[in-house]
Structure 1
Amino acid sequence: METIAHLRDNGRTTRMFCASSGPPRILRLQGRGEPVFPGDPRFDALAGLFPPSQGVRSVIRVAPERIATSCGDAVPRMAYEGERDTLSKWVERKGPEGLSRYRLEKSATSIDGLPGPAPGGDPP
């Protein structure tokens, strides 16, 4: 929700990736982005590039304008242990109406007051 609100505000975004194993590296993609919501003709194709996930609000498309790397020497080593099922269980408990109500109550604005997406996602 915060990403969507800030993309709407000025379109700028940064994505940072850190190597958690192997050589220490950081990659930053800085540029412009846009949220693509369910109902947009592009959504299904974009969402299909990722593993299925319940409760998806949007797919964020990023057009990098600057790609930068840095050493990452301070990034700790970490090991992947597996996916969590917490979100999918929470979404199942809420149900479609509960999820919509939650988003309306909790995600109407960002933490700095920018407007959030409509509860069912914005129209295409």
Structure 2
Amino acid sequence: MDVGALDADDYESVHRASRGLAARYGMLTLNAALEAWEACVQDAEDGFDAELVWEYENELRCRHWLAAAWPVLTERVRAARQAELDALDARYRLATVPLPGQGDDAPWHSRRPRLIG
């Protein structure tokens, strides 16, 4: 799909996702959620400090937000950002290992950082 310039409907879908998810996740924008996911991925790649690993679950909230927001976004917005999200998800999979006995309902949630110091 040729994304081209985003229009008012595209931007409104981003605002609708932000407003709709604010009660559950706090007010986030699509850009902020993707930046937070990138930071979380980087933390997983660098390795988590065992004393702070309890924060890991909280850091995953941005990926939960993205999963919940994605269906609300227009196809053009998703197409414009899908490659970025896919690349971050791939990096995350490389930096983490699956947790035994976990389901796959939220693949990022059923994994832990490979490096914990």
- Fold-level similarity (TM above 0.5): no
Name the TM-score, length of structure 1 as normaliser. Answer: 0.24
TM superposition score normalised by structure 2: 0.25
Higher strand share: 1
Q: Which has the higher contact order (CA 8 A, sep 6+)?
A: 2
